[in-house]
Structure 1
Amino acid sequence: MSKLFAYERRTKISEYLNEHQRATVRELCHLLNVTPATLRADLDFLVSEGHIERTHGGAMMKANGRTEYKFATRQLINSDQKISIANEAVKMIYPGQCILLDSSSTIFELAKILARMSIQATVITNGIYSAMELSNNKLLTVVLIGGVVQSGSPVIEGKFGSSILCQFDIDTMFTSATGFTYEDGLTDFNVYEVDLKKLMAKFSRNVVALLDSSKMGKSSNNTFVSAKQIDTIITDQSLEQPLMEKLLNDKVNVIVAK
């Protein structure tokens, strides 16, 4: 393995612990091909960011099962898959449309692509980074939903500015989630953002979910869109047959990004 930068190592540690829940220093040193001293420095950083907990001889996910990464960290996780999915999603945007973008890191990849396109459209979002990126395209009318900004977060939360949604004829909402199961639908941790996402879905004719394969089969504690409310799912791997059959029965279109 070639030498990794610090942020690449920490992303791999986060992904490994997300999958395995816990690991020893020896396991992670072998995974990253680094010394224990380097590994401990990476673990200390992730602890300071609130991502993980240290254990005797290793590390584990937070005891409550909740891992909310800072936005910059979330951008790095499964970034290739997110970009491929976003490239498929942008094919669904046409001139003259009014669309909604949530504040997820996957949707931010879609915003970056859209910002470079020669297309006239109206984009409503609660993602500060997405709004800033899209504002560079003079052909786009960008509407930022008002609300509460938490410290260190590029996300607008709450329903304070949601009244603006009823003033637009919204074609499609593009959204992602912490997890997706057929039983629970699209779920997320943040109850305040979930409340806003419910309203965003309510005012949209179509809901398109951009979900990399790591989100499949996982569920958080707050549902904002049921499986039957979704019009299209774009993902990076074929879905398991039982899930695929249920979605097709509900007339949910599934696209696998190349």
Structure 2
Amino acid sequence: MPLVDRLDLTLRFVRESQRISLAELAERLGVSEMTVRRDLDELQAQGLVERVRGGAVALSAPREEAGFERREAWQAATKKRIAARAAKLVEPGQTILLDAGTTTAAVAKSLVSRAPLTVAVLSLQAAAHLADRRGIRLIVLGGESRPGERSLVGPLTAKMLDEMWFDTFVMSIGAVHRELGWSEFDIADAAVKQHALTRAEQTVVVADSTKFGVRAFAKVAALGEVGTLVTDKPDDKDTLAAIRRAGVTTLLA
């Protein structure tokens, strides 16, 4: 896993737990405690965490530090390949529900070539990419914009989802683990994804390989509850094998 991605995951884990041990971080990241110590030193130098005996505690920080804008440029080429491959699964004339996230924002750009489409979005970034595009009927679902991520969450979002049915839900994910399934770092985001899974004929997950082997705070679904995964070539072959055993069609971009 590239250093910038590992630092992002480490920061998310610390903020999720508020206080976390070196041993737990090492287990969840699949690295040595020595590596965790170095990463925590770097995050402390940036003023994002505080090192304590045996671990780290979260510090308040500007919301954009670990948000969408910071992550959008990371692995941009990989996300672009994943997005292009996922867009090919969409047929002109379909109704699409597009999740929030940096990879799904890239999918939004690729969907323009598949028009005409009706696309409902759970992300203000995706909405910006699709607004005023020829052949795209854009529906922005209501809800609360989550700070830093600009994902749309909450009861208003769920209520609007209840009024619609989609051919395909394109879902981003924070983590996927061979035993724990698909999970997210934020409860509100996880709740929207759980609801969206019930509103589409099929679900396509888009996720780069840094998400493999990671367990996040809030479970979204078991592995077999989605139909297709589009990813790059993961080093974590065990998780990939578990996903395939669960009956998920896996496409490598």
TM over 0.5, shorter chain: yes
1:74-106 alpha-carbon deviations (Å, 9 max, x no partner): 112222211111111011111111111111111
Alpha carbons of structure 1 residues 195 and 16: separation in structure 2 relative to 1, 3 Å: closer
Number of matched pairs: 223
Which of 198, 201, 206 is matched with 1:205 structurally?
201
Which of 212, 233, 244 is matched with 1:248 structurally?
244
**What's 1:87 paired with?**
84
Alpha carbons of structure 1 residues 118 and 187: separation in structure 2 relative to 1, 3 Å: closer
Which of 139, 162, 167 is matched with 1:166 structurally?
162
The 5 A counterparts of 1:137-216 are: 137-216=133-212
Q: Is the 8 A contact 1:15 1:77 kept in 2?
A: no
- The 2-side partners of 1:222 and 1:174 are apart by 19
1:92 counterpart letter in structure 2:
L
- Once the two structures are TM-superposed, the CA of residue 167 in structure 1 deviates from its matched residue by 3.1
Alpha carbons of structure 1 residues 118 and 53: separation in structure 2 relative to 1, 3 Å: same
- The 2-side partners of 1:122 and 1:168 are apart by 12
Alpha carbons of structure 1 residues 150 and 254: separation in structure 2 relative to 1, 3 Å: closer
Which of 57, 61, 76 is matched with 1:63 structurally?
57
**What's 1:32 paired with?**
none
Q: What's the TM-score, normalizing by structure 2?
A: 0.76
Percent identical pairs in the alignment equals 21
Q: 1:95 aligns to what SS in structure 2?
A: coil
2:246 counterpart letter in structure 1:
D
2:99 counterpart letter in structure 1:
D
1:163-188 alpha-carbon deviations (Å, 9 max, x no partner): 22233331111112111012221111
Q: Is the 8 A contact 2:92 2:114 kept in 1?
A: no
**What's 1:78 paired with?**
75
Q: 1:217 aligns to what SS in structure 2?
A: coil
Pairing 1:226–2:241 present: no
Q: 1:92 aligns to what SS in structure 2?
A: coil
Let me know the Cα RMSD of the aligned residues. 3.1
- Once the two structures are TM-superposed, the CA of residue 162 in structure 1 deviates from its matched residue by 2.1
- The 1-side partners of 2:6 and 2:224 are apart by 35
* The 10-residue stretch of structure 1 (173-182 or 156-165) with the greater mean CA deviation from structure 2: 156-165
Q: Is the 8 A contact 2:230 2:252 kept in 1?
A: yes
1:254 counterpart letter in structure 2:
T
* The 10-residue stretch of structure 1 (131-140 or 89-98) with the greater mean CA deviation from structure 2: 131-140
- The 2-side partners of 1:17 and 1:130 are apart by 26
- The 1-side partners of 2:161 and 2:130 are apart by 19
Alpha carbons of structure 1 residues 54 and 79: separation in structure 2 relative to 1, 3 Å: farther
Alpha carbons of structure 1 residues 12 and 210: separation in structure 2 relative to 1, 3 Å: closer
- The 2-side partners of 1:256 and 1:73 are apart by 25
Larger Rg: 1
**What's 1:126 paired with?**
122
Pairing 1:23–2:38 present: yes
- The 2-side partners of 1:200 and 1:12 are apart by 27
Pairing 1:106–2:121 present: no
- The 1-side partners of 2:161 and 2:6 are apart by 39
